[in-house]
Amino acid sequence: MTQMATMRERGGTWYVEIRKQGFPPVRQTFLTKTQAKHWVYRTESLMNEGEWTDPASYDQTITVAQALQIYLDELLDSRPGHTIGKSKISCIKRMQKEPLFSGVSVVDLSPKILNSYCKKRRLKVGPKTLGDDLSYLSQAIDTANVLYGLGFRNNTVRDMKKLLQSKGTVGKSKRRVRRITPEEELALYEVTVGDWLHPIIRIALETAMRQEEIHKLEWSDIDFNRGIVLIRDRKDPHNKIGNDEEIPLLPAVREVLLREKRWAKTHKVFPYPALTASVSDKFAKKAERAGCPDITFHDLRHEAVSRLIERGLTIPEVCVISGHKSWDTLKRYTHLKPESLLSKF
Q: Model confidence over 102-132: pLDDT tens digits? A: 999 888 888 889 999 999 999 998 898 999 9
Q: How confident is the model at residue 44 (pLDDT cuts 50, 70, 90)?
A: confident
Are the beta carbons of 208 and 321 closer than 8 angstroms? yes
Distance (Å, whole) CA 288 – CA 261: 29
Mean pLDDT of 12-31: 81
In a 13 Å sphere around the CA of 334, the CA atoms on its Cβ side amount to 20
pLDDT at 82 over 60: no
Q: What percent of the chain has pLDDT over 90?
A: 46
Query: Would the pLDDT of 162 be above 80?
Result: yes
Distance separating alpha carbons of residues 145 and 67, to the nearest angstrom? 9
Alpha-carbon distance of 330 to 101, in angstroms, equals 38
Distance between CA atoms of residues 217 and 31, nearest Å: 27
Q: Is 67 exposed, middle or buried (0-12, 13-18, 19+ CB in 10 A)?
A: buried
With beta carbons less than 8 A apart as the criterion, state whether 63 and 109 touch. Answer: no
Q: Which ranges constitute the DSSP H helices of 53-207?
A: 64-78, 86-96, 111-122, 127-148, 156-167, 182-191, 197-207
With a CB cutoff of 8 Å and minimum separation 6, the contacts of 129 are 121
The reported pLDDT for the residue numbered 29 is 74
Note the Cα 85 to chain centre separation in Å: 5
Residue 248 pLDDT > 90: yes
Higher pLDDT, 207 or 343: 207
The DSSP result for 271-329, as a single string, is: --SSSTHHHHHHHHHHHHHTT-TT--HHHHHHHHHHHHHHTT--HHHHHHHH----HHH
Start-end of CATH 1.10.150 domains in the chain = 57-174
pTM for this model (two decimals): 0.59
Is residue 224's pLDDT more than 50?
yes
Say how far apart CA 141 and CA 157 lie, in whole Å.
8
- What number of CA atoms fall less than 13 Å from residue 51's CA on the CB side? 13
Q: Are 51 and 27 in contact (CB under 8 A)?
A: no
Q: Which fold has domain 182-344?
A: hpI Integrase; Chain A (1.10.443)
What CATH fold (topology level) applies to the domain 57-174? DNA polymerase; domain 1 (1.10.150)
- CA–chain centroid gap for 32, Å, is 23
Residue 214's CB is within 10 A of a number of other CB atoms, namely 22
